[in-house]
Every structure is written in C-alpha cells, then in structure tokens.
Amino acid sequence: MINFAIVGAGFIAKKHIDAIEKTEGAQLVAVCDTNPERLAEYEGKVNTFTDLEEMLKNQGDLHVVNICTPSGLHERLVSTVASYKKHIIVEKPMALTVEDSEAIITEAKEHGIKLAVLHPNRFRPAIKKLREVYDAGKFGKLSHANATVRWNRGQEYYDQAPWRGTKKFDGGVLMNQAIHNLDLLLWFMGPVESVQAMAATRFRKIETEDLAAGVIQFQSGALGIIEAATTIYPKNLEESLSIFGETGSVKISGRNANFIETWDFQDVSEEEAQSLAEEIKADPFGKPGHQCIVEDMVAAINENREPVVGGEDGLAPVKLIAALLESAETGKKVTFN
C-alpha cells in the first residue's frame, strides 16, 4: 500500500483526496494545513498536522506528498518534502518562475525521489485519441496550432483569498487558467523557438493579466496562436485546441476542451469521424485526470520508473509563459536558447 499525504487543504485538495481514495493500492494517511479550521473535517479520519516538518518527522509510513497550496509556495515546500526523501505530486503550475521550477527538478533528482506534475487534461478521452493519431503520423507535416481559453473569472473569484491574482503566489490567466491548454499545445507541437505576445489587465482588480494573446514559432518551423482570457461575459465560453497538418485537421473544443468539433484526415471517412465524436460525447471526461496521475505514481513506485508527467513536462509551460510575459512587457520577440 502506497501512503499519501495532502499539504494544503483547500478546494483543489478534495480532487486529490478523491483520486487517492479511488486508486487501488493507495491510501490517504495525513493532511497538513496551517489553518486548523480546514483540518476539522479530517479529524478522526486521518492524522492531521499544522506543520509540514512535524508531519514528515512523525508520519513514518508516508510515501508520497501531494502539494496543493498556492503556487508561489510550491518550491519551498518541495524542497522540504524532498529532503525527507518522499515522492511528490505537485499541482499546476509546478512553480511561478523558471528558476523555482528548475530548482524543484534539481531537488527531486538530488534526493532520488519521483516527481509528478498535475496536468490532468492529457488523460481526457478526446485528447488521448488525438495523441493516438498524432503518434501514428496522421497529420503529416504540421502547419500550425491554436490554443484558446475564453473563460470567466469574476472579481468575486479573486476576492476569495488575498493571494489570488498576485504575482508572488498565484499568477494570471496564462499561469493559472491557460496552463493546461499550453501544456497540451507543447505536448503536441514540441520545443519553442521564439514568442511574441501582448497582455493586459482589462477588468479585474488584480496584479496579473486577465487577458493575453501571443504567437509562437516552434523549432519545427510550425506556428502557434494563443488566446487566453478570464474576461468573458457572463460565463465560460470555450477552451479549445486545434492542430493543422498536411493530411489532418482537428479541433477539440467545448467549455473544457473535451469534445471533438473537427476530425478530418484523408484516410478517415465522415462516418468514422462522426462515430468517434459520438463516442467521446458519451463520456467526455473519462477517468478523472487527478486519479490517472495518482494511479501512475503508484505504478511508478512499484515499477521503479519515472512518472508519465514529470518535472520537465511541468517546466515547459512555465518557460513558455515566462517568455510570453517578457515579450508582453518589453514589446519584443523573445527567443529561446
């Protein structure tokens, strides 16, 4: 049995706990939060702690720690957990800066622990089918791709906690909302050559951007277009990922990028494409991505391999976002080394 602990008992922690409870060979043994009120519902069910090091010292049977705190705290917490040689699952983004993200990877390697980053959208049925045809070379040479996040986050969302919308602890629409879509964009399109972007804070009273748009040139020569906004009235409109190649065009859309809108390949009939779209529509979310990540961590420990979504996967979108924000601030193209 692989024993898990949660650090940070806020909203997202409930998804982690549900994933652990549904995973064979996994069990939750501890929850840690600096706010005792958040721990009340776990009293008597698991061990509870208000101090991380106290938990790491006293919970001797612990194997994996899931970090679910505000993003600006991730690197410091990972450093502490890694020093006790516990495996780690860290929520997205893995950190708010490239430097902190790289430090997390280094700390995991130095202490010989497994590191997984929570990018659950890779496990949605439509995205898994898209990956199958991509790996099979169905697109031919890639032309370009489009990643769009048109969501609503009202002022009340940011007012829920003082860290929301801050540069130090939260990040803006690119880092907090669009990062899942950007992870998918990079997963399919590969390394980035350069970016050029604009960003603005149009409606919300926050430190960070609520609107951003950018253009990417990938090392392959393909282009990418990014649009990300939390300014959409009055509710979430869409999240979509479109990929275009010589012999294929696909658009995955819906409010959370989980339905097939376009599925055109030269060797796939309209009937086959429609059948696949209906299959996805019947179960658009599939097994929860958090559960897939937890299951994979259990398997990685038992099989002594690396998690399928590891530190480098978490670093890539952070590097992309940092470049986009640098370009937006300077008004210049940013070229990757």
Strand partners, 245: 142, 248
**95: pLDDT confidence band, cut at 50, 70 and 90?**
very high
pLDDT reading at 141 higher than 90: yes
Mean pLDDT of 95-108: 98
C-alpha–C-alpha distance, residues 122 and 119, integer Å: 7
Question: pLDDT by residue (tens digit) across 266-310?
Answer: 999 999 999 999 999 999 999 999 999 999 999 999 999 999 999
pLDDT(337) > 90: no
pLDDT at 147: 98
Using a 10 angstrom Cβ sphere, with 0-12 exposed, 13-18 middle and 19 or more buried, the burial of residue 288 is middle
* Domains defined along the chain, listed by start: 2-120+289-308 (3.40.50.720), 121-286+318-335 (3.30.360.10)
Q: What percent of the chain has pLDDT over 90?
A: 99
What is the pTM (predicted TM-score) of this model?
A: 0.96
